[in-house]
Structure formats: C-alpha cells, structure tokens
Structure 1
C-alpha cells in the first residue's frame, strides 16, 4: 500500500532504499535498477537547479517515449517544478501554443523533432535552452553526468503539481491539467487495488507519455514498485512480442491498437501466459474488435473509462463481465466506479442528481482529481464544482446494477423532437455492418424535428456502402426517432492528433447560418 502522506519523491527514495538492486525500468537495451533511477533523477534535479529552474517553473518534452521524460517528471517532483509533456502529434502551431502556454523554460527534444523545434525556436517565448535527447546529437547524458545527485528535495505538498498533461479537446486549444503528487498516487493506489498489481509485476507502458494512459500508467507501476517496460512507439507486433519476452502482467491499449493486433500474422501463437490484465479505453471499442480481442487474449480484458483531469481511470468493466454471455449487454457499458471514485449522473442544466437509467451528465468525485487547468481559472471553475465534483462533459446513465454507460459528449447530443439522441448508440449499431470501417453520427437541421441524426461512414477495404442497407439495419435495432435519416459516404473522417473525430467539422456545412442547440 502507498503511504497516504507519501509524495512521488519520497516513494522513489523508498524503493531505492528498500530494493536498490531490483530492476525498475527497461527500455530497449537500457536497464535501470531503483537505485540507478533514483541517482539519475537526483542528478537531473541538480542540473535543473543549476539552470535556475525551481518551484512553480515548467519544463517540457517533445519526443516519442523515452526514459528521460519519466526522469524529468520525477526530477520536477523533487524540485517543485512541473513537466509539461507535449503531444508530438499536434500540428506545429499547436505545439508552439502548448510550449508557450506552459511557459516552459527548458525543452527536451527527441531526434525526430529536432527540425520542428529549430523552426519554432524564435517563436518560443520562454524557452531558454533546447536539450537534444537521444541520437547522435544527444546532450542529455552529459547534462546529467556533469552534476552530483541532489540531497535536498523540495518540501512538496500533496497538492503540488509535478506533471502537466494537455487535454486533447476537439474544439479550441488544449488545456493544461495540473496533476499533483496526491492525485497521481491516489490513482496508482486505487487502480493497483482493483487490478491486483503487486511489486513483483511487470507493467508495459505502450501509450505515448503525453497521454494520461502513458504517464499515469508509468506512475501506477512506480506506486507499487513494479517493473516498467516502456515502448518507444506502440507497434502492434512488437508489443505482442514484448509480453512473452519480458513477462508483462499488466498493460493499457487503445481499441485502434487492439484492432491492429488482432491482424498481426501469427498473433494467436504468441506467448501471453504472463499477462493478467489488459486495460483498454480512451475511445469507443467497436464490438467486432472486442470479439476478436476476446478470442485472441481470453478473459483478461478490463474496459476502462477515464479522463486526464482525474489522472486516468475512474471506472472498470472486468473480465467476468466480458466472459459471461448472460450479461453481454454490459459490454457497451464502462463498468462500475473503481475504488476511491464516486460517480453520479446529474442534469447538465440544474446539477440535480438523476435516477436509474435517466440520461444526463457524468459527474466524478475522487481524490484523483487535478488541481485545475494551468492559468485558466474560469475553465477550472466550469469543470470542477466548489464541493469537488468534476463535470466530465460526457453524457450517460447508470443502470439499476450500478453500471455506468457513457453515451456521448454532452455537446454532441442530438435533440430531435424533444428526445435526447446520443450518437454513440447509433454508431455502435452501424459499426456492426461488415461494409463499414468507420462511422460518426451527427445532428443536422430539420424543419419539423429541429435536428435529426445523419450517419457519416467510411467503407471497409474492398467494400461498397449501401446507404439503404445501413438505414434498414438502424430501423431494425433502434427506436424510430434515433434512426439516421440520411447517410454520407466519405473517404475518411476528420480527426484531431489523438484520433478523436472532429464532429464539429462534420456538422459545420449543415449548420452554416443557423444556431445549433447546445446543452
């Protein structure tokens, strides 16, 4: 168990003291014990202080996954600063915005992004030094070795921010969620309890560290002292091979990655015997991919729902619900709240709690919550209530058994003739059709009903979309007011850099000159 008064720094020191020679981290050919990791972090802390970086300052990383990013987060925790991890998939203007918004004073850059950083250099308002990491131009190792390990940690409070992850919103610029010692360690403790993670386990960090599913998963392992095996990129075949080679016990993947894994030649013959828990989430899981994953991996799946603002996971649907045909309807749920999390569904307009199966906005209360959005007090006040509830912005309901169903973003809800229609429910039905590779449902204007659903679909390879066949399938499985009236066949759906569909772009041509109702 994690000491409730622990900080990230005190926890790392404890592992280094109690288990100095146990392996803490693997990354390719790199191996670090807990004592080695601790020493490197404290050398980095000294180096940062020599650069004049101290409490309240921000540094940033623009790189694929690399141990330096985790070391930098830990060093920031030691000196009272914070690491703003940049989404490398963003466009250059967005990368520039994030670094400047964070007011980062130091920028670590991987070799793949050296050119982009050089082009942005003159526009970086606060960056005093760009430090190349990895490759032939590496300066990071010399940066560490030039300094002795620091012996004086900043007296951090549990609500001090040490990692700043930027939300991947589908509108506007990202917001920096300030994640604290207490919140991150609470998440680590809660998830470890429900997923039975022990110090002897091995955690695969497959997702990018700019994502909460990457950084928080690494700190989940750190919380228990489990070994971290980090991948630079989420390559499907390499991640599957890593399971048997490294004895992976726990991992987190996204549905798109799992879909690719089920298509890897020879995937069924690989060794998954060590694997106990596959968490998946961050985007809807198509039922065909879920069925293929269950066939490939067996009863090891945990569907998770979470958010950056809560350091990661807040609900889980466990293996027993994946395996029992009698509760197959739960496969479209997000499961139940994990340990330490309370969830209610509230009326988005009044904030009043709603009853069983009544649709509304999902509210979350937990000690995993961020301390707020960096330099955005109005956005923080809009997201977190004075009594500590996070308004997720997601629509959903809770059934009589306590299972949470996440239907859609509140802003994407379609109001047709006074009925609330959640696009995700329609998308799940249409995604089952073999001709469909990708689907998004939006609301478009209608003179009689105000707005009605429209399906935007992408054909599967080698297939041809028959709009009438899709509409017939919808009528077979959905209430009439939920059925799309029309189908648009597109080459691809617009997405943001983290893969979220930009429904605003799909809606825009239909609502030009009109005002769409929002909640």
Structure 2
C-alpha cells in the first residue's frame, strides 16, 4: 500500500473523478455533489494556508453539527494540520482548556456559541482569529470563496494527525487523542467491510462531530463514497421520518436517543425498509429499550463497543445475536472484534494474557489506533504498550465463543472481601426493575469487607423507589457478594457533558479522609 493510499489528502479526488455529479452530502437545504465538495475543500485548504496554517498546526471548531467541520478536517489533511473539534456541551472553562491545550490558531464558531467565544477571547492563548460559521454573521463562505482551489497537497505520512478529538475527562481534564490518516482509513475500511457499506448507500450522521460516533462515522461514508445526510441536532421524530424520505441505509445512535425514538407516537407507522444497519453504543443499552427497538426496527441492530483512541468501533454484536433465543445471554456482551482488530483480556497489574471467562483489562491492537495523546507523552506511554497494544482501561472477559463482555472501568471495580464486583453487572439487573429510571453502583467503605456496593438510583417517571424492595430484587438475581448493601434515592445522577455518570462525584462523600485507589 502506497503512502498516498494511506492518507486522507486526496480522499475526495477519486469520488470527484468517478461520480462528480452525484450527491455527496445533504444538510438541511444544502446539497453538495462530490465535485463541489472536493472544490470547497481545496479552496478551504488554500484559505487556511493563507492564514499561516501549516504542518503540525491546529485549528478548532466549536459548533453543533455542520458540514464545515468535516470540510475543515479534510482541508487540514491536505495541508498537514489538524482539526481539534471541541465538545460544545462543555462548560466555558472546559472549552477554554481544550482550545488552549490544542494551541489552536483559528477558531470556527457556530451561532449558538458566538457569545461564549467572545467571553473567552482574551484568555485564548494562541487563537489569532475567530471566524463565524452560519447564521446572519457567517464568515465561512466568504473565507473559502476568496481563494482558488489548492493543487498541491502536503506530502502527509500515514501516522500524521489530522483530527484531534478529546476524551471525556471523567477523572480529570480531557486529553486530545491524535487520530491519524492511517487510523481513520483503517477504521473506515474495517467498519465498511463488517457492515457491508457500499457507494450506493446512504449514511445518516446524527451524533455530534466532536465524538467518534459523528466524525469517524462520517469518514466511514466518505472513504466508501456513500452519501451522507447530516443533521445539526438529533430530533427523535425527525430522524425517524428522515429514514424513508432519504432512504437511509446505515446510522449510528446512542441508547438514550433510541429510548426517545421508541416512545415517539405512531413510530411504527414509519417506513424503515431501506435500513440495513442500525448501530448503537457509547453507553449501556437498557434491555427494555433494546427489546422495544427490535420490535420497532426489526433485526437490524448492531451493538458496537469502541473508544476515541481507536478511532471508533472495535467490536460488534450483529443482528443474529440480537434475535436468537438460544444465545440470549449475548445481549449483554459487546460482540466480537470487527475486521482488523485483535482483542485480549490481560491482567491489569502484570500484563499477562488471561484465559476464558477470566476477568481483567481489555487490550486492543489494530491499525485504527491513535498516535498518542497530544503533548502528553506520559499518558500515551501508559495507554499504549511498546508492542502496540492499547490498554482500554475497561474491565471485562472473553467467553469460550470469543464474545467480549465489558463489565466496567477498571477504576470503578469494587473489591469486596477479596471478590471483584463490576458495577455494570449490578446496574444491568437494577435497570430491569420497573421503578428504576437511572442507576449507578459505587463502592463505599466497609469495616469488615473493605468496601461494598451501594446503589444510587433515580426513580422512573411516576414511580416510587422502595430501597428494601430493590435489595430483595438484587438478592433474587445476583450472587450475595455482588448485591448492594444500601440504596440511595437521588433526584438525578451527576454526569459530564457527554452524559457519562461521574462516579467519582458519587463516591467522594463516602471516602473523605479514607484511602481508595480509584477515587
């Protein structure tokens, strides 16, 4: 494989040559053919160069979903720079941290975030210019339109970073994962192979572009020449209606969105016949929502497990395993590795490979891996071994059939009386109880056992939680050492801007003045 074929620099050229008049991207009223998209990216590359952006430099985007973010990533690929996409759900101090950490020189801002950017402007260390994208104050179209299309792409290497996405930061500041030409193209090829994506397909991009479920999924479509239909924000009813209107074949959603979709009035009256693959992931899928989704969409669900550091998906549980009652236990698994990915479970302390059903840390090896964390060599060294394995930080095991079960983050594992308790296993049981709307299980100190499980629950709409009833329910479904010893009923669970529960905040009051490695 040549260097050119392993870089994104000329990704659009093939499709512009082969199918230039075919539609490449649709966003609201905007329609772009492959030839038009290619020209826009080339003009944008020239515009960035004119602003002094060159190899190794960073720009940043702070916006809801908009084609400009994808165009900027492609333009950065052409000139050797990288696009740091900012999580728009972050609080202003966190947004400032990401922009400064990336050392972004240009900031592209959507209308909803213009005021926030103005308020932070004098504290941006390296930003030389802020450009508004969309709305009445749009500067983006004039910015790219003022330049002739670039004709000399930078001679990028496969391991060069062109997209920088930030991790969730559940235990501290987010880290910039440097996603490379080779990694993103490997991910695109692997996902396309397993999900049978072709140039004739239509991919719905509904998840935020600051997440691999948005940007990496868009690049899966771009690499295969499939048409993209992008939405600014996911509206459950609108997304369902779009499937028939645009003949969507592939999409990626998160479980919370699917829970809202199955509750849409007359959802089953829609036409979903064009859909071939509905991928879901990024958070645990409650079994009731999964059952309702199967009833609504039919056997088209693919549960996926992945991570920013691997450009996205690394495992998949296919439609057959969702509907075969003989293997119903696999519904709580993450499936098997996708093409091009090897997974092992290792002892987190020694790195020793573990056997069937032995719990440990999930390690991943694939060409999809990031090159490292931006300007954080120690964190990179801790995450990626010398022989190329990514330590995911997730606990789990692999069964005799090769299915991977992701139990919990290693740091969230509860060690009670010498037994390992994975909160996710307990949470799955509690989530099945009709009075529970949301749940997190944490370890709290215990003089006899060291620590024991505690359930923190939010009542389902219209329901009242009886702690004693929940504890009895757990004793019916779990080994005694896994059962929570207490239940706290809360109004809501603390979450970070991407929706992940902040268990460290739940644990903190109980461990004040005590030593716990994972707090």
* Same fold at TM > 0.5: yes
How many angstroms apart in 2 are the aligned matches of 1:377 and 1:237? 45
Please tell me whether residue 305 in structure 1 is matched to residue 285 in structure 2: no
Q: Deviations over 1:170-221 (max 9, x none)?
A: 1110000000010000000000000000000000000000001000000000
1:18 Cα deviation (Å)?
Answer: 1.4
Question: Which residues in structure 2 correspond to 1:434-449 (within 5 Å)?
Answer: 434-449=434-449
**3-state secondary structure, aligned to 1:440:** strand
Q: What does residue 341 of structure 2 align with?
A: 341
How many angstroms apart in 2 are the aligned matches of 1:40 and 1:188? 22
Please tell me whether residue 103 in structure 1 is matched to residue 103 in structure 2: yes
**3-state secondary structure, aligned to 1:208:** coil
1:5 Cα deviation (Å)?
Answer: 2.9
How many angstroms apart in 1 are the aligned matches of 2:51 and 2:410? 45
Structure 1: gaps (5+ residues): none
TM-score w.r.t. structure 2 length?
Answer: 0.99
Q: What does residue 204 of structure 2 align with?
A: 204
Q: What does residue 385 of structure 1 align with?
A: 385
1:517 Cα deviation (Å)?
Answer: 3.8
Q: What does residue 483 of structure 1 align with?
A: 483
Structure 2: gaps (5+ residues): none
1:7 Cα deviation (Å)?
Answer: 1.6
Q: What does residue 264 of structure 2 align with?
A: 264
How many angstroms apart in 2 are the aligned matches of 1:99 and 1:394? 28
Query: How many residue pairs were aligned?
Result: 519
TM-score w.r.t. structure 1 length?
Answer: 0.99
Q: What does residue 83 of structure 2 align with?
A: 83
Q: What does residue 162 of structure 1 align with?
A: 162
Question: Which residues in structure 2 correspond to 1:122-201 (within 5 Å)?
Answer: 122-201=122-201
Please tell me whether residue 37 in structure 1 is matched to residue 37 in structure 2: yes
Question: Which residues in structure 2 correspond to 1:322-341 (within 5 Å)?
Answer: 322-341=322-341
How many angstroms apart in 1 are the aligned matches of 2:336 and 2:3? 25
How many angstroms apart in 1 are the aligned matches of 2:245 and 2:3? 33
Question: Which residues in structure 2 correspond to 1:503-514 (within 5 Å)?
Answer: 503-514=503-514
Contact 2:164 2:179 in 1 (8 A): yes
1:295 Cα deviation (Å)?
Answer: 0.7
**3-state secondary structure, aligned to 1:32:** strand
Please tell me whether residue 291 in structure 1 is matched to residue 314 in structure 2: no
How many angstroms apart in 2 are the aligned matches of 1:480 and 1:45? 61
Distance 1:400 1:4, change over 3 A: farther
How many angstroms apart in 1 are the aligned matches of 2:258 and 2:360? 30
Please tell me whether residue 240 in structure 1 is matched to residue 245 in structure 2: no
How many angstroms apart in 2 are the aligned matches of 1:16 and 1:320? 37
Contact 2:322 2:331 in 1 (8 A): yes
Distance 1:2 1:472, change over 3 A: farther
Q: Deviations over 1:237-270 (max 9, x none)?
A: 1111111110000000000000000111111101
1:518 Cα deviation (Å)?
Answer: 4.1
**3-state secondary structure, aligned to 1:48:** helix
Please tell me whether residue 405 in structure 1 is matched to residue 387 in structure 2: no
1:235 Cα deviation (Å)?
Answer: 1.0
Contact 1:2 1:189 in 2 (8 A): no
Distance 1:107 1:4, change over 3 A: closer
Distance 1:437 1:2, change over 3 A: farther
Please tell me whether residue 217 in structure 1 is matched to residue 223 in structure 2: no
Please tell me whether residue 10 in structure 1 is matched to residue 10 in structure 2: yes
Structure 1 residue ranges (4+ consecutive) displaced by more than 6 angstroms after TM superposition? 1-4
How many angstroms apart in 2 are the aligned matches of 1:491 and 1:6? 50
1:11 Cα deviation (Å)?
Answer: 2.1
Q: What does residue 58 of structure 1 align with?
A: 58
1:8 Cα deviation (Å)?
Answer: 1.2
